[in-house]
Structure 1
Amino acid sequence: MKADQAQPDRGGQPPADQERTNARVAGASGILALGNICSRILGLARETVITYLFGATGAADALQVAIIVPKAIYDLLIGGHVNGAFVPVLSDVITLRGKRELWRVVSALMSLVFAILAVLVLLIELFAPQIVPLVAQGADAETRRLAIDLLRLTAPALISLSLFAVFSGTLFALRSFTLPAFAGVVFNGCIVLVTLALAPAVAWLPRLTRVPALFPFEAARPAEGIIVVAIGWLVGATAQMLLQAPGLNLRRLRLSVNWRHPALKSIALLYLPVMLSLSMDTLIIRPFSYRLASHTGEGGIAIMNWATTLVQFPQGLVATAISIAILPTLARQSAELSAQAQRAFKDTLGLGLRLATALILPAVAGLFVLAGPIIALLFENGAFLAADTAVTAQALRLYLIGLPFAAIDLLLVYAFYARKDTFTPALIGVISLVVYLGVALLLFERLGLFSLMVADSAKHCVHASISGWLLWRRLDGFGAQRLSVTGAKSALASLAMAAFALLTLPWLMNFIGAASVLHELLLVVICATLYGGVFLLAAHLLKLPELAWLLKLLKQRALG
């Protein structure tokens, strides 16, 4: 790689070790991005299958409730930003004490996680009838009964999800990215395959088995066919955990009660502020959102989740990939106390912020304009009607308002983590939580379901603004990063694309039509290609350097 390829037009020549670091980061981020793309596509396929079979109905709401409970517990205890505490500690163990000690630490961590989650799963199975009303208070009795049945199916997945987090974090510490990157592909693929394979026959399973202890579901409710999705969720969680096995030395892993190991204490101390922040999201924001959505009519919870799935697609491809790619470099630069290292920290963070801005703004503009056609293509089949498409599209557009702030905020949070500060982002999270609750309650009577999307965008705006201001003060400024220039040029190019799309989309929709799924697919592909080309042309005319650098890098890698 040539020296001027290290970053777009920054005017300096990075040293050879920085070039090698950039190459490693690019390779890792490429693998993670590819896995993310495949996982998101299968995630959309998963939602398409579910909406086709069950639509925006009470059964879909019951499924979402059954999934959100174990997922919320997982995010609170294991998920979230746990790698920010987990990977650095394991990396230190490998460097200072070797891999033999690594397997001792991982064995102790695995055993501790298994013990805690086994108890939690048992409690969920016993108290499912009491848990469901807390999440879906506004749902009718039929939906609640179905949600209880489904929750008892999805709860055991907690153990597999948590062990997957331990195994994937270990592989990240070993600088092995491929298997964790494609875990989501296996997870979503299993849900799709199991649902399609079992959906036609599942309604008869309770009558054929006649073993209530093994299959405790009543056959009287046709909506219970959705249990196949819950089965697929359980299978997928187990499969993605097992996928990590080839990259691990399983012979070195064994049950251990050495839960006072210093490495476990270090992980706990770093992760405690993160867990407290996540607990607010898990125990306050999510139940609050689901409870409010359940009072907006049938399908409100499902529509909220479908819109969330779509808005997470560009978030994962842009912000998550860039954040994971720059985190190791930021951490290394932050550990050095020299003025040169601190300047390098600012340059690395500035590069990430500029790239995220240059990529997320056109993604927001494109999704905003094409929300209707994309949702119609993915979901408007079977029981999912045109009216559901219109409501979901409006929800997506309101979420998109906050997406640029969310993308920037993720990079800022990772910068705090790189400086071994997990407390400040958690404190900012408390402030943004108050903003979310206040805006949602203030607007609920007027906007109904849409008040939750407006509140979410306001939350991201506040969190990103405070994070940026505090980090700017601690770094004594970001240096000459040209963030405003990149933001302005990307915004202008995105607005040009959006204006062209608004003028041409009605004509293209009439010309191509929507007589079949193929017509809808053709419309989305043509529009995405055409409007993407308009953005590239506008960005070229505006001389957006980040885009030119990315295109040059892709061309060089394609040529080997």
Structure 2
Amino acid sequence: MTVTPEAEVIHHLPPDTPADDGVESIAGATTILAIGNITSRVLGFVKEIQLANLFGAGRAVDAFQIAITIPRDLYDLAIFGHTNSALVPVLSEYAARKDKSELWALVNVLIALVMFFAGILVLFMVVFTPQIITLYRGLPRVDFALHPFQLDPSMLTQSASALTPEAFNKTISLLRLTAPALVFMSLFSVLSGILYALKRFVYPAFGAALFNAAIFVSTLLLAPVIGIEGVAVGWVLGAIIQLGFQLLGLRGAKLRLVIRGLPRALRHPGLRKIGLLYLPVLLALIVDVLVNRPFSYNIASQTGEGNVATMAWATNLREFPMGLVGTAISIAILPTLAQQAMRLDLMGAFRDTLGRGVRLALTLIIPASVGIFVLSGPLIGLVFERGAFTAADTQHMSIVLRLYMVGIPFAAIDLLLIFAFYARRDSLTPALVGMFSLGCYIVITLILLPHLGFLSLMIADSTKHLIHMIVSLVLLRRRLSGLGDQRLPMTLLKVGLATMVMALVTWVLARSVAELFPAQGLRERLLLVFVPSIFGGLIYFLLASLLRLNEFNLFVMALWRKLRRR
């Protein structure tokens, strides 16, 4: 039998890796991450409402959005924004060892490198602020809607509207104010990565919530005095506070800033592993930034007024169940998968852990997606329908959200499969599959565009997730000789049955509440969303118990224990 180099390395790693994390452990970690995600998103939503109430949709907010988007994009493009793909698998390898000296040596050199490169990026943003803003606002677009299959240079136009001198100067001052946050955000990623590797989920789970809370408080106290700059100050303070919170989780850790011995520390083998894992991720990210985002936003902007905003808002609502379920479970099982993947004798445990994660995700994401599908209209009406946002806008956005919801279960399972590749130190395969599915997304959109217009983007997006999931599943099954999924068909059957009953009850209740309370005030909108949601959720919970959906029941018990402790 031929042994691959990767397998040979894995086989000789120290045999002190934990054998397994049970469903209860995964459910507990998922619960922590889900609560943190909910808290962060609620605070983020309150923060956005506060910003809109104070400044409206004027130039000050536009300037602020640019001033935070530029450092955030740089953060995403750098390794600091992708701890899950590159840092956590490698750090988990060292965290699994009894001797943690190599782990802290790697973390210390990572901190030094992050401070150095993030500092250079901050200096670059401060010195070349006008040029960066000009470049950012002047990216070209292609008129796909008019010529979907003809891409020639004459179709290039300037997509960004020109900023007035006053708005341009305001953007410059705000970007110089928010730029230092990049250093603290980058350090936060490294520290949250080590906390994930050590399976200390509470601190990174609530970091974003503290970030949003700091912005809210700063805006409340400073914005009436110094204007939009008060929000920018809150952005930097939020980055500092969430970093400090991670340091609380690493009390007793041997952290120090490496300066003198940096040249020797740079030879740490963990750095090479992280670099090799990150390169494919960076390539996929560049393709996404340069191809996917411009393509999608150009199509949206050219197929009807307000479609860009509709797509952005629907995407935010779509990300809510994805963050609560798909992302939370994926992060919860990644450290365990990464440790199990290091040893050939734990491949069975690896398959079992992944199978448990998939089954848990299915029991949560399918009812969540169907529930949002059924209540899309009332939900959008509650959140958005006021002022210039009309009932017609709600109906239009409801269709968009429903089409997005079709693809969410595929996206959630796909994310688990992607993290399984990351755990096996393979980031190239997900990147290649991602570029293939992106190509399918573009082709499907262009085929459907003449017939369905704007909605072709949503259909293509859901199809893209399905394609990515199928290809990833086939490749992973081949490499693992199965996925420990013998119980998956029965889980799907039970979830499908419980979800259908839940959907029917939710739909009937929504219609009944709408007939009983035909007015469109805040109270009626709240009743229209929460009454069907609560009763639908209770029906699903009862059916899950009767059908013995073990993964769901363990998740509920873990959630109850966490809430009782608080």
Query: Could you state the TM-score of these two structures normalised by the residue count of structure 1?
Result: 0.81
Q: Is the 2:371–2:503 contact (alpha carbons within 8 Å) kept by the matching residues of 1?
A: yes
Cα distance change on mapping 1:517 and 1:199 into 2, 3 Å: farther
Matched, 1:194 2:251: no
* Distance in 2 (alpha carbons) for counterparts of 1:247 and 1:47: 29
Specify the code of the residue in structure 1 equivalent to 2:381. A
* Distance in 1 (alpha carbons) for counterparts of 2:241 and 2:467: 38
* Distance in 1 (alpha carbons) for counterparts of 2:64 and 2:401: 21
* Distance in 1 (alpha carbons) for counterparts of 2:29 and 2:504: 36
Q: Is the 2:27–2:554 contact (alpha carbons within 8 Å) kept by the matching residues of 1?
A: no
* Distance in 1 (alpha carbons) for counterparts of 2:64 and 2:38: 25
Q: Is the 1:56–1:388 contact (alpha carbons within 8 Å) kept by the matching residues of 2?
A: no
Cα distance change on mapping 1:240 and 1:377 into 2, 3 Å: same
Cα distance change on mapping 1:48 and 1:310 into 2, 3 Å: farther
**Equivalent residue, structure 2, for 1:209:** none
Pick the aligned partner of 2:383 from 378, 382, 389.
Answer: 378
Q: CA deviation at 1:361?
A: 0.8
Q: CA deviation at 1:52?
A: 5.3
Provide the alpha-carbon RMSD of the alignment. Answer: 3.5
Q: CA deviation at 1:359?
A: 1.1
Give matches, 1:273-312, under 5 Å.
Answer: 273-296=280-303, 299-312=306-319
Give matches, 1:513-552, under 5 Å.
Answer: 513-539=518-544, 544-551=549-556
Cα distance change on mapping 1:351 and 1:382 into 2, 3 Å: same
Cα distance change on mapping 1:60 and 1:364 into 2, 3 Å: farther
Cα distance change on mapping 1:57 and 1:85 into 2, 3 Å: same
Give matches, 1:2-41, under 5 Å.
Answer: 24-41=25-42
**Equivalent residue, structure 2, for 1:158:** 182
Cα distance per residue 1:91-125 (max 9 Å; x no partner) = 44456695555444333222322332333344442
**Equivalent residue, structure 1, for 2:257:** 254
Give matches, 1:298-337, under 5 Å.
Answer: 299-337=306-344
Q: CA deviation at 1:386?
A: 4.0
Q: CA deviation at 1:537?
A: 4.4
**Equivalent residue, structure 1, for 2:457:** 452
Matched, 1:73 2:74: yes
Cα distance per residue 1:379-436 (max 9 Å; x no partner) = 3345654444334333322221110000000111122222222221111111011122
Cα distance per residue 1:493-532 (max 9 Å; x no partner) = 2233223333332331242355543432233221211122
Give matches, 1:203-218, under 5 Å.
Answer: 205=227
* Distance in 2 (alpha carbons) for counterparts of 1:544 and 1:34: 22
Give matches, 1:70-219, under 5 Å.
Answer: 70-79=71-80, 81-93=82-94, 98-99=99-100, 101-124=102-125, 125=129, 126-134=131-139, 137-142=158-163, 146=167, 148-149=171-172, 154-198=178-222, 200=224, 205=227
Matched, 1:233 2:235: yes
Give matches, 1:466-505, under 5 Å.
Answer: 466-479=471-484, 481-505=486-510
Please list every run of 5 or more consecutive structure 1 residues that lacks an aligned counterpart in the other structure.
1-16, 206-224
**Equivalent residue, structure 2, for 1:401:** 406
Q: CA deviation at 1:460?
A: 0.9
Q: Is the 1:58–1:299 contact (alpha carbons within 8 Å) kept by the matching residues of 2?
A: no
Cα distance per residue 1:269-290 (max 9 Å; x no partner) = 2222222222322332223333
Pick the aligned partner of 2:360 from 347, 355, 360.
Answer: 355
Q: Is the 1:513–1:520 contact (alpha carbons within 8 Å) kept by the matching residues of 2?
A: no
Specify the code of the residue in structure 2 equivalent to 1:44. F
Secondary structure at 1:453 match in 2: helix
* Distance in 2 (alpha carbons) for counterparts of 1:91 and 1:552: 27
Q: CA deviation at 1:553?
A: 5.7
Specify the code of the residue in structure 1 equivalent to 2:383. L
**Equivalent residue, structure 1, for 2:7:** none
Q: Is the 2:510–2:528 contact (alpha carbons within 8 Å) kept by the matching residues of 1?
A: no
Name whichever of 414-423 and 381-390 sits farther off. Answer: 381-390
* Distance in 2 (alpha carbons) for counterparts of 1:255 and 1:27: 36
Q: Is the 1:330–1:415 contact (alpha carbons within 8 Å) kept by the matching residues of 2?
A: yes
* Distance in 2 (alpha carbons) for counterparts of 1:502 and 1:142: 47
Specify the code of the residue in structure 2 equivalent to 1:237. A
Cα distance per residue 1:155-183 (max 9 Å; x no partner) = 44322221210121233334433221110
Q: Is the 2:214–2:234 contact (alpha carbons within 8 Å) kept by the matching residues of 1?
A: yes
Please list every run of 5 or more consecutive structure 2 residues that lacks an aligned counterpart in the other structure.
1-17, 142-157
Query: Could you state the TM-score of these two structures normalised by the residue count of structure 2?
Result: 0.80
* Distance in 2 (alpha carbons) for counterparts of 1:510 and 1:52: 32
* Distance in 2 (alpha carbons) for counterparts of 1:232 and 1:379: 25
Cα distance change on mapping 1:387 and 1:72 into 2, 3 Å: farther
